[in-house]
Chains A and B, each alone.
Chain A
Amino acid sequence: MADSRINDLLITGDQTYATIDHSVGRLVLDQKSHSIAWLKWLIGGVMGTGVLMVSLAWLIFQGTGTWGNNVPAAWGFDIVNFVWWIGIGHAGTLISAILLLLRQQWRNSINRFSEAMTIFAVMCAGIYPLLHTGRPWNDYWLFPYPNILGMWPQFRSPLLWDVFAVSTYFSVSLVFWFVGLIPDFATLRDKSTNRYAKLIFALLAMGWRGSNQHWHRYEQMYYLLAGISAPLVLSVHSIVSFDFAISIVPGWNVTVFPPYFVAGAVFAGFAMVLTWGIPLRKYYKLEHLITNRHLDWMAKITLATGLIVAYGYFLEVFYQWYSANPFEFKLLTNTRLDGMYAKFYWALIVCNVVAPQVFWIPKMRTNTWALIIVSTFVSVGMWLERFVIIPMSLTNNYLPSSDKPYYPSFWDFAMFAGTLGFFTMLMMLFIRFLPTINIFEVKDLLYKMKGQKEFVEGQAPVEVK
């Protein structure tokens, strides 16, 4: 009934360990495997980073007044982009930690670059809360450090929880990523012919020899870290959602926020993984490792989380009506369903609720163009969602006299474009200098698939225990 391509296996073609080593390793070891297109993207990324640097310098020099924030909308693009970037990172952690613990073998070929995306996205996200403050040079006051004033941060503030959540998230993700890279560094060390590359990879491999003991220790640590990371997938965005849910701002004070934010984060994250994964497998001919089956499953997760998010939107509207709270109801009618900002709300509904429904059609789940278009819609939609929640709720107040519109400034856009460029630059460097796909895990998968004798053409592989 379904399209036969969906029955692709997790590894297609006649693969051996050597072919896998080659197809992933050559991206690092054979620098000629990169085309001029790579350079163009890198230059774009570097230029974007330049824009980011200029925006940051101007921001620090002049103050947050360079942005469009005002009173009532004291948060605008800064927090919108923070939440958006943090959300992007969530797919990586979900894939690497939760899917690992659930023994989902299909994560093996996509976990590496989605973890890299996590780290880069959190870096982009971190810029915002650090520098959106009026006096960023005093940001260290948010950390509980011993001082002669005897002043502690205010532990009741969700912003403080944010500090812990995001910094924990970043450090755990980084360690997790690095630990996962060690066996691959060893492979690259062994395969590389360039002596500098060999030296660097040797250092990074930290003496990995692939002994049984190494593997044992490795597995222990990796699963331990996955155990730590797994709750982070749920907690980080829950805490980010507390920034809003804890407050008394109409449109923010919603109990459904934590699960709804987490689902939204995974939703946005998978969209981003698709956006990067599809061109990656095409240009670097990795279709045999990132197969249509991967795409199919990622599309399904996108659809599933999209439906959770849609449920969240429905609940929000329902709550605003059902609570009979005049302030909430006014928000609904004035900035969501109708009013000067309604176009953003409806665009968000189209992007996040309508567009993913395409994935009910099996063909569309493996159609790369459909996937890219829908995932772009989702990325835009998730950005709009944060825009709708943050400044739009703030423009609507308890006292109507304070209702004032929010308009982002040039520098708001420049800084956002800058973080996109920064992210692109980091991804480009990552593709060229680090193994984009987890070599040893794919080889492990190949071993299991072949060894189990269930490697039958045209059938889905059976889960391997």
Chain B
Amino acid sequence: MEKQQITKEEALEKMRGELEGKRGERYWRTLDEVAQTDEFKLWFEDEFPNRKDLFQIDRRSLLKFAGASLALAGLAGCRGVFLPEEKLVPYVKAPEELVPGKSLFYASAITLAGYATGVLVEQSEGRPIKLEGNPDHPASLGALSSIGQAEVLNFYDPDRMQTVIQRVDPTAELGEISTWEEFSKAVTPQLEAHVATGGKGLALLFGAVTSPTQASLIEQFKKKYPAAKVYSYEPAGRASVNTAVAAVAGKPGVPVYDFSKAKVVVSLDGDFLNPVDNPGALAYARQFAKGRKVTGNHGEMNRLYAIEANCGLAGATADHRYMLKPSELYGAALALAAAVGLSVPGGTVSGSLKNDLEAIVQDLKSNMGQSIVVAGEHAAPEVHVAAFLINNALGNVGKTVKFVASPEASIGYGSLADLAADLDTGLVDILYISNSNPVFTAPADLKFGDKLAKAKLKVQLTAVEDETSAMCDWILPMAHSLESWSDVRAFDGTATVVQPLIAPLFDGRNEIESLSLMLGNSRAGYDLLRTYWQTQKLGGAKFEEGWRTAVHNGVVPNTAAATIAMTTLTPSLPSPTPLNSTYEASFVPDPAVFDGRFANNGWLQELPRPLTKVCWDNVVTLSPSDAQALNVKSDEMVRVTTAVGEVDGIAYVLPGQPKGSVTINLGYGRTKGGTLATVGLSNGGDQGGGFNAYKIRTSKNPAFTAITEIKDLNTEQHLASTQGHSPLGGNRIPDHRDILRAGTLEAFNKEGMEALILGHEFDKKEIEESNLFPEETFEWDGDQWGMAIDMNACTGCGACITACQAENNISVVGKEQVGKGREMHWLRLDRYYSGSDENPDVVWQPIACVHCEKAPCEPVCPVAATVHSHEGLNQMVYNRCVGTRYCSNNCPYKVRRFNYLNWTDNQEQFTKKVSPLNTRVIPGPIREPKAEGVQLLKLLNNPDVTVRGRGVMEKCTYCVQRINEARIESKKAGRRIADGDIVTACQQTCPSEAIVFGNIADPNSAVSKLRKDPRTYMLLAELQTRPRTTHMAKLRNPNPEIKSSNETTEAHH
């Protein structure tokens, strides 16, 4: 006991005294002596408890312990090191309908800028793992866009807000962890204090609000605080078209088109096939593709004229494409209106459009009531008004075009400019920002960031901490739509009840729940929804039944917005004002990261953008002639200067980019918002990240702006592009190759397939005769799987790529690895140009493993890791693969993907250089924070698909897991697999139904019929690979009256 009274410090002090002045041998002896002292023993025991015993242990015991610990290490080593430490909680009572290993589907909806797309959420053992379009939903019809497919990854985003954060010290980078209760305790009194003044000084900012429940809550808030102000801001929203409808119909609304009835479509920079441009794009793409479907030897097709200031999907699909600068669009719209016979201010057109205008109008006029003129969502209101007037003059309104009351409740709210002005004048005490990131997305001229600081209390509800959060006092975690109850409207007004699939992963609340808290009553979303829909008399007298049906179907019946009539047929239209600038910058939402909100989504970041094929960056697209004039090449940094600011971006010379127009995608250059969103900050662009286009966007004209200067900075920043971005080329098919078959409908109707062969077709007979092993043809016995891809239907949106990625657990590899040519997408969307570089024709060719009957990959594998199934699948046995990569070399389609590094388990490639020699290595933030021992991203994996490790080859399997599921079901039912039982992920999500899968041994199956279609051909048939995936030739339907415009028409034989 006495010993222990000496503290460690004292003991050490004493020892130092002992050792003082001792040298050499004596020194060591003193150490020995010291070791014998009680003080030392005490210190020793203190520091390493029980260590002394180790010295005293005899040899026999030591061996005994060693043996035991080895044995234990064997056991313990498995858990926690090689195997995950897992806690099993068996169901005491299994939930109804839950069969382990079997997925369940629930109807719900996801939103983009407020507009809903109905989905069916695939849930496996309680985890939502994949989204598929809801066939009953008008905005989906079963399809989903890339963004829709990737929404489930947002749900598992490891960077999501997990708790309430309070920023006590505004200068600190990190706030304090807090709770909703704390927030309520702190903020509610402050809000209540405003009741007396009617809510003066309170401000709410939302994105586009289509949720009826949310709108009603906002109304309640306004009632409680009449002087409070409500604002709405959507960086890529539909304010313009709503204004335009208000101009012709007296109240805000949106046009809804029916492309299935349209024979002639004129697009005024209207990318109606692109889901980021138009919320109805999925439905429109399906209707449009139906109008282009040609079966057999003869057919009819609709005709699309695209007048574009950018490079859109509509332009790539168009039969005639005309280019102009963004500022010339209105003039072109007026010229078209005048040519149709309307009295409007004089517009001007130039070039080939001028020559062809008469023919276009003639075409429109001969299809009265069966045509559509569609303007781009971002275009100015007057362009839309002009388009509406033309549609009216052509008798389309009521037939192919109708106007419906705006699904957006937020149309009447204040704008972001109003909020900025109010903030500036100090009118805002408390600002509540709901799911909006104005500090990043606000146009440069508003200087919103500076003004936001003037609000006394700033609260933001957000999914991931972003640029705005950095300035807020309270940051609230927003629940994802897959884990909370809400509702939302589609582009035609149809409402959907959004139901959760899983209990909230974190302490999040969604927009309506959080708003309810601001109202002071803090009700659950489920309650709020039911209360609202009860007031709407859902289900008539039987609410419960109506509610259940609505939730089950994913559509609330009879909620489509009411049609409104065009009342003002002669609205005053301004005269076009020329911009007088050599170059104009056009701002469009990015096809993947949209306005920046999906910048932390790896699937979307790595989605090759349809036309540029660039991933992980946005670019400054220049037309080839402009690039020549400016002496700029792709990959060179340029400085784009406008009246409000300047940005440094990477140039990309894009064939087909209109001369004088520079398209810049919004959404890049994030400084906060998650690991992937900000990946460019610390790596100098090597990992992507792009640049912020909002810095040169103005609130007055968000669509485009004049450029004062484009300066070559003489530095390079390599882009990661998946096609044609190297000195080797790859954007065009060299002569004599029979890879693409495309031609005009007229020629096809006359001459059949012969007219569509662009290259040298190998003689079929010769191919057959040159076969040295005719007996080795693949025997068709039982079900034989095959796929048909109609290049005529494909719009190039890329949804199939993301769907495949979601279904098959495909890894994201990061910009650096994509740049090296190691992207892992099983399905790729080749984009080929033909014709002039200035305005080329584009053909899309989706291609994944074509499952050759005589696959070149199979005989070269030394370990038989890739083999053929009796049903014709070329199978990849991951477990057997050694990774010689010979199969990839010998694959003529180059559809095999190799795991060069461990993509699955670590996410280092996003933040770290692979080479240790690179000095710019930064310690990557932990990509996968562990929430209760579970790594978030692992929950996302499809349990039916093997997760591939490092060093194995992988490729398209024809979704073999879906085939097997259908086989099990058919066996249970005692029948054969019926046509349509198996729908591959890519086929399922395709808006234009370009992909058909099925049994080619069954002559009545859809795919068999397509294989016999005259447009069907086998890619690289001359190699005798006998691909199971066949492609169908692309057709265009140019106006026979238009012969002069050689730069748009097909026929480059």
Q: Is A127 part of the binding interface, using a Cβ–Cβ cutoff of 8 Å?
A: no
Q: Is B1042 part of the binding interface, using a Cβ–Cβ cutoff of 8 Å?
A: no
The distance from the CB of A51 to the nearest CB of chain B, in whole angstroms, is: 13
Stretch among B563-571, B880-888, B987-995 lining the A interface: B880-888
Q: Is A327 part of the binding interface, using a Cβ–Cβ cutoff of 8 Å?
A: yes
**Residue contact A326 to B735, C-beta cutoff 8 Å:** yes
**Residue contact B1020 to A247, C-beta cutoff 8 Å:** no
**Residue contact B863 to A142, C-beta cutoff 8 Å:** yes
Q: Is B95 part of the binding interface, using a Cβ–Cβ cutoff of 8 Å?
A: no
Question: Which chain A positions have C-beta within 8 A of B888?
Answer: 71-72, 74
**Residue contact B893 to A326, C-beta cutoff 8 Å:** no
Interface string of B869-908 (1 = CB under 8 A from A): 0000000000011111110111011101111111000000
* A19–B737 CA distance with the chains assembled, in angstroms: 70
Q: Is B950 part of the binding interface, using a Cβ–Cβ cutoff of 8 Å?
A: yes
Q: Is A163 part of the binding interface, using a Cβ–Cβ cutoff of 8 Å?
A: yes
* A159–B737 CA distance with the chains assembled, in angstroms: 31
* A187–B737 CA distance with the chains assembled, in angstroms: 68
Interface string of A47-90 (1 = CB under 8 A from B): 00000000000100011111011111111000000000000000
**Residue contact A399 to B1023, C-beta cutoff 8 Å:** no
**Residue contact A400 to B727, C-beta cutoff 8 Å:** no
* A152–B886 CA distance with the chains assembled, in angstroms: 18
* A152–B865 CA distance with the chains assembled, in angstroms: 11
**Residue contact A156 to B723, C-beta cutoff 8 Å:** no
The distance from the CB of A145 to the nearest CB of chain B, in whole angstroms, is: 12
Interface string of B732-744 (1 = CB under 8 A from A): 1111110100000
Q: A65-B900, A134-B881 are in contact. Are A154 and B832 (CB under 8 A)?
A: no
**Residue contact A138 to B900, C-beta cutoff 8 Å:** no
The distance from the CB of B924 to the nearest CB of chain A, in whole angstroms, is: 15
Interface string of A400-435 (1 = CB under 8 A from B): 111111110111000000000000000000000000
* A136–B951 CA distance with the chains assembled, in angstroms: 9
Q: Which chain A residue lies CB-closest to B613? A: A401
**Residue contact A135 to B728, C-beta cutoff 8 Å:** no
Among B894, B896, B952, max chain A CB count under 10 A is at B894
**Residue contact B1020 to A398, C-beta cutoff 8 Å:** yes
* A135–B885 CA distance with the chains assembled, in angstroms: 11
Tell me the residues in window 284-334 of chain B with beta carbons closer than 8 Å to chain A beta carbons.
none
Q: Which chain B residue lies CB-closest to A160? A: B862
Q: Is B793 part of the binding interface, using a Cβ–Cβ cutoff of 8 Å?
A: no
The distance from the CB of B257 to the nearest CB of chain A, in whole angstroms, is: 33
Tell me the residues in window 216-275 of chain A with beta carbons closer than 8 Å to chain B beta carbons.
243, 246-249
Q: Is A397 part of the binding interface, using a Cβ–Cβ cutoff of 8 Å?
A: yes
Q: Is A277 part of the binding interface, using a Cβ–Cβ cutoff of 8 Å?
A: no
Q: A72-B821, A398-B893 are in contact. Are A63 and B950 (CB under 8 A)?
A: yes
Question: Which chain A positions have C-beta within 8 A of B1028?
Answer: none
**Residue contact A135 to B882, C-beta cutoff 8 Å:** yes
* A221–B763 CA distance with the chains assembled, in angstroms: 58
**Residue contact B737 to A339, C-beta cutoff 8 Å:** no
Partner of A139, one of B828, B830, B881, B882: B882
Among A63, A74, A139, A410, max chain B CB count under 10 A is at A74
**Residue contact B728 to A395, C-beta cutoff 8 Å:** yes
Tell me the residues in window 995-1024 of chain B with beta carbons closer than 8 Å to chain A beta carbons.
1019-1020, 1023
**Residue contact A405 to B915, C-beta cutoff 8 Å:** no
Tell me the residues in window 151-173 of chain B with beta carbons closer than 8 Å to chain A beta carbons.
none
**Residue contact B880 to A135, C-beta cutoff 8 Å:** no
**Residue contact B859 to A157, C-beta cutoff 8 Å:** yes
Q: Is B817 part of the binding interface, using a Cβ–Cβ cutoff of 8 Å?
A: yes
* A339–B893 CA distance with the chains assembled, in angstroms: 22
**Residue contact A404 to B728, C-beta cutoff 8 Å:** yes
Q: Is A363 part of the binding interface, using a Cβ–Cβ cutoff of 8 Å?
A: no
Q: Is A446 part of the binding interface, using a Cβ–Cβ cutoff of 8 Å?
A: no
Q: Is A210 part of the binding interface, using a Cβ–Cβ cutoff of 8 Å?
A: no
Partner of B914, one of A65, A136, A138, A401: A65
Q: Which chain B residue lies CB-closest to A129? A: B884
Tell me the residues in window 259-276 of chain B with beta carbons closer than 8 Å to chain A beta carbons.
none
**Residue contact B1023 to A151, C-beta cutoff 8 Å:** no
Q: Is B820 part of the binding interface, using a Cβ–Cβ cutoff of 8 Å?
A: yes
Q: Which chain A residue lies CB-closest to B1019? A: A399
**Residue contact B863 to A400, C-beta cutoff 8 Å:** no
The distance from the CB of B858 to the nearest CB of chain A, in whole angstroms, is: 8
**Residue contact A396 to B728, C-beta cutoff 8 Å:** yes
Question: Which chain A positions have C-beta within 8 A of B914?
Answer: 62, 65-66
Q: Is A153 part of the binding interface, using a Cβ–Cβ cutoff of 8 Å?
A: yes
**Residue contact B860 to A246, C-beta cutoff 8 Å:** yes
The distance from the CB of A448 to the nearest CB of chain B, in whole angstroms, is: 48
Tell me the residues in window 849-867 of chain B with beta carbons closer than 8 Å to chain A beta carbons.
856, 859-864
Question: Which chain A positions have C-beta within 8 A of B856?
Answer: 247-248
Partner of A157, one of B759, B860, B897: B860
* A311–B951 CA distance with the chains assembled, in angstroms: 39
Q: A62-B901, A71-B896, A409-B915 are in contact. Are A401 and B832 (CB under 8 A)?
A: yes
* A20–B901 CA distance with the chains assembled, in angstroms: 56
Q: A65-B817, A399-B894 are in contact. Are A134 and B830 (CB under 8 A)?
A: no
Q: Is B822 part of the binding interface, using a Cβ–Cβ cutoff of 8 Å?
A: yes
Q: Is A133 part of the binding interface, using a Cβ–Cβ cutoff of 8 Å?
A: yes
**Residue contact A157 to B915, C-beta cutoff 8 Å:** no
Partner of A326, one of B734, B860, B892, B894: B734
Q: A63-B901, A71-B898, A151-B880 are in contact. Are A400 and B950 (CB under 8 A)?
A: no
* A411–B820 CA distance with the chains assembled, in angstroms: 14
Among A75, A158, A403, A407, max chain B CB count under 10 A is at A403
Q: Is B726 part of the binding interface, using a Cβ–Cβ cutoff of 8 Å?
A: yes
* A297–B945 CA distance with the chains assembled, in angstroms: 63
Q: Is B730 part of the binding interface, using a Cβ–Cβ cutoff of 8 Å?
A: yes
Q: Is A322 part of the binding interface, using a Cβ–Cβ cutoff of 8 Å?
A: no
Question: Which chain B positions have C-beta within 8 A of A409?
Answer: 915
**Residue contact B728 to A74, C-beta cutoff 8 Å:** no
The distance from the CB of B502 to the nearest CB of chain A, in whole angstroms, is: 34
Question: Which chain B positions have C-beta within 8 A of A156?
Answer: 859-860
The distance from the CB of A327 to the nearest CB of chain B, in whole angstroms, is: 7
**Residue contact B951 to A133, C-beta cutoff 8 Å:** yes
Q: Is A368 part of the binding interface, using a Cβ–Cβ cutoff of 8 Å?
A: no
Q: Is B724 part of the binding interface, using a Cβ–Cβ cutoff of 8 Å?
A: yes
Question: Which chain B positions have C-beta within 8 A of A326?
Answer: 734-737, 759-760
**Residue contact A66 to B898, C-beta cutoff 8 Å:** no
Q: Is A360 part of the binding interface, using a Cβ–Cβ cutoff of 8 Å?
A: no
Q: Is A141 part of the binding interface, using a Cβ–Cβ cutoff of 8 Å?
A: yes
**Residue contact B1023 to A248, C-beta cutoff 8 Å:** yes
**Residue contact B915 to A411, C-beta cutoff 8 Å:** yes
* A65–B759 CA distance with the chains assembled, in angstroms: 37
**Residue contact A404 to B863, C-beta cutoff 8 Å:** no
Question: Which chain A positions have C-beta within 8 A of B897?
Answer: 71
Q: Is A394 part of the binding interface, using a Cβ–Cβ cutoff of 8 Å?
A: yes
Q: Is B459 part of the binding interface, using a Cβ–Cβ cutoff of 8 Å?
A: no
Question: Which chain B positions have C-beta within 8 A of A58?
Answer: 916
Interface string of B1010-1053 (1 = CB under 8 A from A): 00000000011001000000000000000000000000000000
The distance from the CB of A375 to the nearest CB of chain B, in whole angstroms, is: 32
Partner of B890, one of A247, A335, A400: A247
Q: Is A330 part of the binding interface, using a Cβ–Cβ cutoff of 8 Å?
A: yes
A to B CB contacts below 8 Å, 28 in the list: A64-B898, A74-B886, A75-B889, A132-B884, A133-B951, A134-B885, A134-B899, A134-B952, A142-B863, A151-B863, A154-B862, A247-B889, A248-B856, A326-B759, A330-B734, A334-B728, A398-B894, A399-B739, A399-B894, A399-B1019, A399-B1020, A400-B733, A401-B724, A402-B730, A403-B730, A404-B728, A405-B726, A410-B917
7 A-B pairs with least C-beta separation: A134-B883, A134-B951, A70-B821, A65-B900, A65-B901, A74-B885, A402-B894
Given contacts A134-B885, A399-B894, A402-B893, 12 further A-B contacts (CB under 8 A): A58-B916, A63-B901, A63-B902, A134-B883, A134-B898, A153-B863, A153-B864, A157-B886, A398-B739, A398-B1020, A400-B734, A404-B821
Give B contacts to A, CB under 8 Å: 723-724, 726-737, 739, 759-760, 817, 820-822, 828, 830-832, 845, 847, 856, 859-864, 880-886, 888-890, 892-894, 896-902, 914-917, 950-953, 1019-1020, 1023
